[in-house]
Amino acid sequence: MQQLPLDGVKVVDLTNVLAGPYCSYQLMLFGAQVVKVELPGTGDLARRLGPDPELNRAGMGTSFLAQNAGKKSVELDLKSPDGRAAFESMLAGADVLLENFRAGVMARLGYGWDRLRELNPALVYCAISGFGQSGPMSGAPAYDQIVQGLSGMMSVTGTPDTAPLRVGFPIADTVGGLMAALAISAALAGRHRTGRGCFLDLSMLEASLSAMGWTVSNYLVSGVEPEPMGDQNATAAPSGTFETADGPLNIAANQQAQFETLCRLVGRPDLPADPRFAERESRKTHRGALNQELNQALRAKTALEWEEILSAEGVPAARILTVPQALALDQVRHRGFLTEVPFAGPGERPVTVTGNGVVIDGVALRPHGPAPLLGEHNAEFEAAS
């Protein structure tokens, strides 16, 4: 059996819905044992979220299944003496504690960092929240939608006529979860040297701002305020979505050589000699005129034909797919990104879940079991405590 980087790492996971469960799902894929601690009788809110009412009623909603395969579930009430005793027993043997409550909730439960450190000096404690554990907004509630708006992300999504728009998936939750998984992995590496744990205070707002990259740095460094540009890439031209005989095509000819190759392949070798299009900055200035010339030429073939022709010559180009089309790509299946796991809920049918795009020594990271029923592993941990 393959040895994974986090084999032997034990994670106690108090999180709900997405940012936290997405983080612990990444840790599980890398080999960690993740135990979800859920409120008796109700559990993770995601158990009731998804498009299938039958699954939601069974506490196995699609949103839960997507992020919790390979984990264990234990029901504990942290406000009861028995629940607290069991929780503290679990912490004594844990490497990581992960939670995404509103700031201050753990301290009010009697499990602030000082107390956690007493219980386990080697513990890595990660608290994911909308805005961090301190500051004037720390106590405010936050969901992905709220963070998308506050980060400025929505202000640059869409066109000048349609912005602000929400990004079409919960990107702030996802980025927060990924940053938490990175922070935990770094903290575990540091603990290997020092033997001491640490407290990781992660702000989804700040993680989102960090992930926005050039959109933020162009303003901080150069004072250029970002604007919504729809399907166009502000950093280069031609770089965006173009028209073909049967649908849209993304092209990112960001380098001079790529631009010249593109023009040759679409039958317009004259365009690089046009003063409006000769250099990178002038192409950005005259983006509209350049796009018009290219669209006229690109309408001669289908999007798939252009994808194959341009990619073969080193010009980044690809069709714009639906989610089902993307999941059906031969490349995705070749890499082992999708995995069928058993399912104990209604219908007892296999459930397909995603990996994370990482292949270690030729083997794709996959969940090693299904998402757990609520409290499925209660007896296992009662016996241990």
Last residue of a domain, one of 262, 294, 319: 319
- For residues 192 and 265, membership in a common domain is answered with no
Residue 2 has pLDDT above 90, yes or no: no
Residues of the domain holding 109: 10-211+335-384
Percent of the residues in the chain that have a pLDDT greater than 90, as a whole number: 95
- For residues 76 and 141, membership in a common domain is answered with yes
**Which CATH number belongs to the domain containing residue 122 in this structure?**
3.40.50.10540
Number of domains observed in the structure of the chain = 2
Confidence category of residue 349, pLDDT binned at 50, 70, 90? confident
- For residues 299 and 351, membership in a common domain is answered with no
Give the tens place of pLDDT for each residue, 196-209. 999 999 999 999 99
pLDDT of residue 371: 94
Confidence category of residue 383, pLDDT binned at 50, 70, 90? low
Give the tens place of pLDDT for each residue, 52-111. 999 999 999 999 999 999 999 999 999 999 999 999 999 999 999 999 999 999 999 999
pLDDT of residue 176: 98
Q: Model pTM?
A: 0.94
pLDDT of residue 385: 55
pLDDT of residue 208: 98
Give the tens place of pLDDT for each residue, 101-149. 999 999 999 999 999 999 999 999 999 999 999 999 999 999 999 999 9
Residue 384 has pLDDT above 70, yes or no: no
- For residues 204 and 259, membership in a common domain is answered with no
- For residues 117 and 154, membership in a common domain is answered with yes
- For residues 291 and 255, membership in a common domain is answered with yes
- For residues 89 and 119, membership in a common domain is answered with yes
Could you tell me if residue 329 is inside a domain?
no
Confidence category of residue 175, pLDDT binned at 50, 70, 90? very high
- For residues 179 and 32, membership in a common domain is answered with yes
Could you tell me if residue 222 is inside a domain?
no
Last residue of a domain, one of 289, 319, 349: 319
Could you tell me if residue 162 is inside a domain?
yes
**Which CATH number belongs to the domain containing residue 309 in this structure?**
3.30.1540.10
Last residue of a domain, one of 294, 319, 344: 319
- The mean-pLDDT minimum among 21-30, 226-235, 344-353 falls in 344-353
- For residues 307 and 339, membership in a common domain is answered with no
Could you tell me if residue 4 is inside a domain?
no
Could you tell me if residue 232 is inside a domain?
no
Q: Which residues are catalytically annotated?
A: 173
Residue 294 has pLDDT above 70, yes or no: yes
Could you tell me if residue 325 is inside a domain?
no
Confidence category of residue 184, pLDDT binned at 50, 70, 90? very high
- For residues 194 and 258, membership in a common domain is answered with no
Residue 235 has pLDDT above 60, yes or no: yes
Strand ranges (DSSP E) for 175-319?
198-203, 239-243, 248-252, 317-319
Could you tell me if residue 16 is inside a domain?
yes
- For residues 67 and 160, membership in a common domain is answered with yes
Could you tell me if residue 350 is inside a domain?
yes
- For residues 257 and 135, membership in a common domain is answered with no
pLDDT of residue 252: 97
